[in-house]
Amino acid sequence: MHALHPAGAEPAAGSAGSASAKTSPGASSPGPSAASPGTGGSPAGAGQQRSEPLADGKTVLGPDEISRALTRVAHEILERTNGGSDVVLLGIPTRGVPLARRLAARLTQVEGRPAPAGSLDITMYRDDLRLRPARTLGHTAVPASGIDGRTVILVDDVLYSGRTIRAALDALGDLGRPRAVQLAVLVDRGHRELPIRADYVGKNLPTSQREVVQVLLTETDGEDAVVLGLSPAGGPAVTEAGR
């Protein structure tokens, strides 16, 4: 890893990705007061469509590290779901969807049986809809097997405030009744505003709220990278103050 930024310098971060070593649920602290209600709006700090890397950003994870992290997460999923026979992976648009597909491909490779993957759009369930003009909807595609009685693993790129995941849980409740719901993320950057934690984490990335974590994936952006940079507007509180 060639990251030089001070925030990500925690030595064991990459290997301590299991849920037990992760951040404690935000329940212990009601959430940073500095954060505006809409901070969780776009967890990746990136736009809906193809993103260019941040100009002054530092690459925290490269393609090989992302690939290794996903392979490890896939094995953790198999371990904790007894072989993953009833697992359904649902990616949250935009970048959760290709991540879910990549995880599904690894599960299939290891266990030799197809793992269903789909997507779950949460736009209509957001709690910050009124803070911005109406957003374009993403696509929801539930695998033919359905989600009733299955173990659903939500997949997203960055876990930040936890508000996206809250919305996803609401959306899931309207689609059916899974046996269990788990959460896999590529990057956990902390600063939870809700009592939500991830079950599988690719990398824990301690950040300041003035920073932006950007995940780039080949499928959407033409390259694989996790980039850490400063928010161009000087902090999320400012960018969200457009109301």
Partner 1 sequence: MKRHLISAADLSRDDALLILDTADELAQMADRPIRKLPTLRGRTVVNLFYEDSTRTRISFEAAAKRLSADVINFSAKGSSVAKGESLKDTALTLEAMGADAVVIRHPASGAPHRLAGWVRGSVVNAGDGTHEHPTQALLDAFTMRRRLGRLEGLRVTIVGDVLHSRVARSNVLLLQTLGADVTLVAPPTLLPVAVSSWPCEVSYDLSAVLPKTDVVMMLRVQAERMNAAYFPTVREYSRRYGLDGARMALLPEHAIVMHPGPMNRGVEIAAEVADSPRSTIVEQVANGVSVRMAVLYLLLGGSDPAGDPGGDPAGIERPVSDLAAALTAEVTR
Q: Closest separation between CB of residue 119 and partner 1, Å?
A: 11
Q: Which of 92, 102, 65 is nearest to 198 (CA)?
A: 92
Nearer to partner 1, 131 or 237 (CB): 131
Q: Closest separation between CB of residue 118 and partner 1, Å?
A: 12
Q: Residues 224-243 vs partner 1: string with x where CB under 8 A? A: -------------------x
Q: How many CB atoms lie within 10 A of CB 209?
A: 18
Q: Which of 169, 156, 166, 131 is nearest to 31 (CA)?
A: 166
Nearer to partner 1, 129 or 230 (CB): 129
Site for partner 1, residues 89 to 148, rule: CB under 8 A: 121, 124-125, 129-140
Q: Closest separation between CB of residue 124 and partner 1, Å?
A: 4
Nearer to partner 1, 56 or 174 (CB): 174
d(CA 47, CA 66): 20
215 CB burial (10 A radius; 0-12, 13-18, 19+): buried
Helical H runs in the chain?
Answer: 63-80, 96-111, 163-175, 218-221, 236-239
In DSSP notation, 5-26 reads -STT--TTTTT--BGGGSPPPG
Q: Is 179 in the site for partner 1 (CB under 8 A)?
A: no
Q: Which of 91, 114, 86, 111 is nearest to 101 (CA)?
A: 91
Nearer to partner 1, 12 or 134 (CB): 134
Nearer to partner 1, 141 or 233 (CB): 141
Q: Closest separation between CB of residue 126 and partner 1, Å?
A: 8
Q: Closest separation between CB of residue 149 and partner 1, Å?
A: 14
Q: Which residues of this chain interact with partner 1, rule CB under 8 A? A: 121, 124-125, 129-140, 170, 173-176, 243
